[in-house]
Amino acid sequence: SLSSFVWDYTFKITAFLPFISMLFAFLMLYTVGGAQALKKHWVAAMLSGLVLSLTALFLAYSRIAPVEIIGILSGLATMFFVYFYYKNGSNATKNQTFFQKDLLVASSPFILLILLSFVVNMHSVKLYLSNLLNHYEVITVFADKKEDLNILSSVWFLIMVVSLLSIFILKPTANQLNNTVKLWLKRIWGPFLAYSLFFSVAYIMAWSGMDVIDGKLLPTANFAQNNMDIIIAQGFAQSFGSFYPLVAPFLGLIGAFVGGSATASNVLFAKIQWEATISTVGINSFMWIYAAHAVGGGIASAITPSKITNAAATIGVGGKEEAQFIKATILPVLFMCLLVGILSMIFIYL
């Protein structure tokens, strides 16, 4: 079933995280403060990486929380750990009460998102919201191919709702709100165009070698010879053979770097990974391959231009700092992808 597929896929992604999360924490420390910061805070970085990854791994294994909020809960657990770790070690914070008003108010959007996510992802609630708009949220992509957007049950819709509610909770000034809207309008077009182009390209590649017959999009007689995904996958299979798991994460990295997110990468390369896996290590290994692909896409977030641009705008730095950040992180990111590939080989062959 789809639910079993999603849970299995999620668990396999989290299996990589104990290694990758720690390395990511070290990378952030080194990027911000160099060797001195790494020497001073390596224990906190290592433990926070383990807290995040093991929390995600436990939630994926136990299935006690909706899969959509595993990342949120793991991040929350890590935030609590870091807070208490430094609170207990700092004289300046020992006398402060736990429920500081400013901290609680600042955290309220995050807390509200978690609560709403729990409610919306309850089976009965999610089913109701998924069917509420009925055919109004079903769009025709091409010929008989349709997509149900499921807007009201989407986590992105919840984020929008929480963002709007946060205006009344955080009570920004008119100037702050105006600057936020201007910044959003400035940033939105890059990700919007990237997603649009990547999904369009993914559809073109997946449906190449097909034709519309009686209103239905169907494979032609030469589909296997003309389909772009199959051709690319066969090229990878012939080039890497049984070592294909080693390079699978790099497809995720490339897709996310160009498209701006792991989601765009997953959409673009899903069928290619499927075909290449069947031709090399076998269909039973696909979940590990695709999980490694997703992790590679997640790692690429460290060097994705669109996200770096957003982060730079948030903290008020310019293009020079962005270029320096990419230069400083490119080699560690490639190393982490290689590590994911090695782990994939271990998970598949051992």
Specify whether the backbone of 150 is left (phi greater than 0), alpha (psi in -120 to 50) or beta.
Answer: left
Using CB atoms within 10 Å of the CB of residue 11, give its burial: 0 to 12 exposed, 13 to 18 middle, 19+ buried.
Answer: buried
pLDDT at 304: 72
> What is the per-residue pLDDT for 108?
86
In terms of pLDDT, which residue wins out, 108 or 48?
48
Confidence at residue 321, expressed as pLDDT on a 0 to 100 scale:
64
In percent, how much of the chain has pLDDT > 90? 36
Looking at residues 102-111, what average pLDDT do you find? 82
Q: How many CA atoms lie within 13 A of 183 on its CB side?
A: 14
Q: What are phi and psi of 146, to 5 degrees?
A: -125, 155
Of the candidates 337, 334, 331, the one whose C-alpha atom is nearest the C-alpha of residue 30 is: 331
What is the per-residue pLDDT across 179-200, written as a single tens digit (0 to 9) for each?
888 888 887 787 778 778 877 8
pLDDT class of 89 with cuts at 50, 70, 90: low
Q: Is the pLDDT of residue 10 over 90?
A: yes
Average pLDDT for 136-155? 88
Q: Distance from CA of residue 188 to its chain's centroid? A: 18
Report pLDDT for 303. Answer: 72
Residue range 228-277, pLDDT digits in tens? 888 988 898 889 999 999 999 998 888 887 766 777 788 778 888 999 99
Q: What is the pLDDT of residues 278-293, one digit of tens each?
A: 999 999 999 999 999 9
Least confident range from 216-220, 271-275, 315-319, 337-341: namely 315-319
Report pLDDT for 301.
74
**pLDDT higher than 80, residue 307:** no
- The arithmetic mean of pLDDT across residues 337-343, rounded, is 95
Categorize the per-residue pLDDT at 344 as very low, low, confident or very high, splitting at 50, 70 and 90.
very high
124: pLDDT strictly greater than 80 = yes
Q: Which amino acid is at 119?
A: V
Helix axes 2-62, 70-88, angle to 10 degrees: 20
207 dihedral zone (left: phi>0; alpha: psi -120 to 50; beta): alpha
